[in-house]
Amino acid sequence: MATQYYRKLAAAGFTVNPNAEGIYKKTVNDYELIFTGSHAAGNFGMVFSCRPTDK
């Protein structure tokens, strides 16, 4: 199930953070959208956050 979410994020233009597994980022209209996903013992957790970019 987690792999399906990661594929959808990649298809939506999110890029994986090269320094951390399970963190995807995308910038839209001066905001950085961040998705963090993790899976262990058959459970999948995810967090979305949004913050202004530094300009």
- pLDDT tens digits for range 17-55: 888 777 889 999 999 999 888 877 777 788 889 999 886
| Those residues with Cβ within 8 angstroms of residue 39's Cβ, 6 or more apart along the chain or in another chain | 1, 2, 45
Alpha-carbon dihedral 30, 23, 14, 31, rounded to 10 degrees: -10
Q: pTM here?
A: 0.69
Question: In the chain, how long is the greatest CA-to-CA distance?
Answer: 41
Over 70: is that where the pLDDT of 10 sits?
Answer: yes
